[in-house]
Structure 1
Amino acid sequence: MLLHLSLFTIGLIVLYFGAEWMVNGSSRLALYFGIRPLIVGLTIVALGTSLPEFLVNLFAVIAREDSIAVGNIVGSNIANITLILGIVTLLAPVRIARATLHKEYLIMMATMLLFVAFALDGTLQRWNGIVLVAGLVSFLGYLFYTSQARGRAEIIDDPALSVASSAPSLPREGIRIIGGMIGLALGAHLMVDNAVSIARLYAIPEVVIGLTIVAIGTSLPELAASVVGAVKQEEGLSIGNILGSNILNVLFVVGAVSSVQPLGVDAESVRLHMPVMLVVGALLYVLARPTLRLGRWQGAVLLLAFGGYMAYLLIPYIPYV
């Protein structure tokens, strides 16, 4: 048990730093070659923070552990809203633009509803994945169009995009990108293998491992970006990071994986965990809509929801409880 837990933790650390290196290196090179920061933030960085979920899901599917793959996405989306946004709003209140609730939030909810609809028959087919990938292309097109319409005044000041005044070293950034990719692959492999071993050792269902420790682990890049945004008082960055991550987890991660290999969905996920994901999404709207603001008490509600859900999942597997 101790060996598997240690290797899982090592994999988590390697995964996190792999994502950081890959995203930062790609962002610096993209800015150096003249790609607008807004486009970089909403494409390279957003997709980069979803790479841990993608790699974990890819290795899980290769190992035929589909429950971990599905649980990872559902659990990550739940953790992004409840855990990460809860922590962020305890640090600093988050204002939410009315347009965000009417556009990006609705896109997130529609994306998650489509995910659930495709999973109702117990399998995410290849054509489902192709539809989701097409949705990803459309979403990126929407981001590009809106960024052009808003102009440079709307440029996102993302901590991941901070670039020194001097030009980056192309060899150094190239090495950082390659090292990040290797770290992502190695970290994801260690996490999946040892998560499965821990689950089997304690007779914990793979879907529960995916919904809890794997989902939280792969959400660490979003947590880091959101907390830094809150500390720097970058309004809108945290909520944009959460909404964008949840959208890309479905369109990019689920779409890409299931378009290559059909993904099995266990009945409990369809019956319980996916509805919880939708309820958590609706809870975000209920808390934010009246004042267009998430304060500390709303953050406490989100954290309580996360804690209650984790307790429901894990208490049956804790000895003597």
Structure 2
Amino acid sequence: MLTTNIIILILGLIGLIISADKFVYGAAGLARNLGISPLIIGLTIVAMGSSAPEMMVAISASLNGAPNTAIGNAIGSNITNITLVLGLTALLKPLLVGSATIRREIPMVLITTILAGVVLWDLKLEMYEGVILLLLFFITILTLTILALKRPSNDPIAEEHNDDVPEGLPTWKAVAWLIFGMIALPVSSSYLVDSAVVIAQYYGMSDLVIGLTIIAIGTSLPELAASITGVLKGEDDLAMGNIIGSNIFNILAVLSLPGILAPGMIDPAIISRDFYYMLGATIVMLLMAISFRGRPSRINRIEGCILLAGFVAYQIIIFSSI
């Protein structure tokens, strides 16, 4: 029984990652064929696609009566993105943050993180709060798009977004991949959540812990793959932008879903422990990525090691509390 659910969990994670990738691939290819700017596609479809696994898990967990798993996934994914994904990426190759757009958008992560604390502070996630977060999500997408259109033509991230959008993909194939992703995403997430709940119950783990750890790490794998691929191709700003965009969307889009679908009380540990860790990690990333001398900043390997140490420390804190 346990072995079967572990296998289902692994297959669910693999299916979730593959289906999310193909969904984004098809949607981006179709949008490009329809004449939409690659820059706009990169900032909307591709950026939202990196949070698609978290969003589908949030929907499945909320509908299955496990909203703490959904909330834990949103917070845990943000912590994992900063400490594990950014840490490993910087350890592999120091990250140069040269885009003025990225430096401007980093404070938005801090603002949305603080907003999450405000929403969850009373240990309740209400439906109206979920609706507000979702509205802010769409406003943020619109704002980022408008700002992107005003960015300097030589901003390095503009060319990187152009390379990130598929070119020459036949429309029929783009539609096929889009439909495949739309079907496979909810199926994979449903199996993933169901098996995770069984495993958590077997080991005496709460819904929150399973969301903060196993599921959060699993759903952050697309960000890890995209960031490492980006930095190896010399697209440092795209790698950094991927993490920033994912964290903003996790708060505004992913966290809104349990509020809308399963409003109610939340696990107190979310505020007493996990929120503060997410806030601290966000502040550390901000200090590392913003240059106070007006020059492009660099996240070096030592700072990458510090972030990785933070990831290990958090896992120890989580599992020691079981």
Change (3 A) 1:156 1:249: farther
Q: Structure 2: how far apart are the matches of 1:89 and 1:13?
A: 25
Cα distance in structure 1, aligned partners of 2:103 and 2:305: 24
Structure 1 residue corresponding to 2:160, chosen from 157, 162, 185: 157
Partner of 1:227: 228
CA deviation after TM superposition for structure 1 residue 101, in Å:
6.7
Counterpart of 2:10, as a letter, is: T
CA drift of 1:111 comes to 0.6
Q: State the one-letter code of the partner of 1:295.
A: N
> Counterpart in 1 of 2:196?
195
Structure 1 CA distance for aligned equivalents of residues 3 and 163 of structure 2: 34
- Aligned residue type for 1:299: G
Kindly state the Cα deviation for residue 289 of structure 1 after the two structures are TM-superposed: 3.9
Q: Aligned partner of 1:131: which letter?
A: I
**What amino acid is aligned across from residue 160 of structure 2 in structure 1?**
D
Distance between the aligned counterparts of 1:143 and 1:109, measured in 2?
Answer: 16
Q: Take 1:101 and 1:233, find their aligned partners in 2: how far apart are those partners?
A: 16
Whole-Å Cα distance in 2 between the matches of residues 276 and 138 of structure 1?
A: 27
2:306 corresponds, among 294, 301, 317, to: 301
Conserved 8 A contact 1:66-1:264: no
Distance in 2 of aligned mates of 1:58 and 1:163? 28
How far does the alpha carbon of each residue in 1:150-204 deviate from its partner, in whole angstroms, 9 at most, with x for none? 265442424983434x4x2222211111111222111111111011100100111
**Quick one: distance in 2 between partners of 1:198 and 1:256?**
23
User: Is the partner of 1:95 in helix, strand or coil?
Assistant: strand
- The answer to whether the 8 A contact 1:59-1:192 is kept is yes
Does the Cα contact within 8 Å between 2:29 and 2:171 map onto a contact in 1?
no
Of residues 307, 311, 319, the one that matches 2:316 is: 311
CA distance 1:158–1:47, change in 2 (3 Å): same
Unaligned runs of 5+ in 2: none
TM-score (normalizing by structure 2): 0.92
% of aligned pairs identical? 35
Shift of 1:231: 0.6
8 Å CA contact 1:56, 1:189 repeated in 2:
yes
Q: CA deviation at 1:108?
A: 0.8
Distance 1:159 1:306, change over 3 A: farther
In 2, Cα distance between the equivalents of 1:217 and 1:106?
26
Task: Give the residue type in structure 2 aligned to 1:175.
Answer: A
Compute the TM-score of the two structures, normalised by the length of structure 1.
0.93
Does the aligned pair in 1 maintain the 2:133–2:253 contact within 8 Å?
A: yes
| One-letter amino acid of the structure 2 residue matched with residue 141 of structure 1 | L
Q: Within 2, Cα distance between the matches of 1:226 and 1:45?
A: 13
User: 1:92–1:233: 8 Å Cα contact kept in structure 2?
Assistant: no
Query: In structure 2, what residue type is equivalent to 1:302?
Result: L
Aligned ranges for residues 159-308 of structure 1 at < 5 Å? 161-164=164-167, 166=168, 168-289=169-290, 292-308=297-313
Corresponding position of 1:137? 138
The Cα RMSD (Å) is 1.9
Q: CA 1:157–1:85 in structure 2 vs 1: closer, same or farther (change >3 Å)?
A: same
- Cα deviation for residue 34 of structure 1 reads 1.0
Q: 1:126: which partner in 2?
A: 127
Checking the alignment, whether the CA contact within 8 Å between 2:38 and 2:162 is kept in structure 1 is no
**Residues 105 and 151 of structure 1, relative CA distance in 2, 3 Å threshold:** closer
The answer to whether the Cα contact below 8 Å between 1:125 and 1:258 also exists between their aligned partners in 2 is yes
* Distance 1:101-1:170 versus aligned 2 partners, 3 A rule: closer
Q: Is the 8 A contact 1:53 1:253 kept in 2?
A: yes
Q: Number of matched residues? A: 315
What residue in structure 1 maps to residue 76 of structure 2?
75
Equivalent residues in 2 for 1:83-102, closer than 5 Å: 83-97=84-98, 99-100=100-101
Confirm or deny: 8 A CA contact 2:39 2:162 kept in the other structure.
no
1:100, CA displacement in angstroms? 4.9
Counterparts in 2 of 1:151 and 1:30: CA distance versus 1, 3 Å: farther
Contact 2:61 2:69 (8 Å CA) reproduced: yes
Deviations 1:61-88 (A, max 9, x none): 1111111111101100000000000111
- State the Cα deviation string for residues 213-237 of structure 1 (Å, max 9, x = none): 1001111111111111011011211
Secondary structure of residue in 2 paired with 1:103: helix
- 1:24–1:160 contact (8 Å) kept in structure 2: no
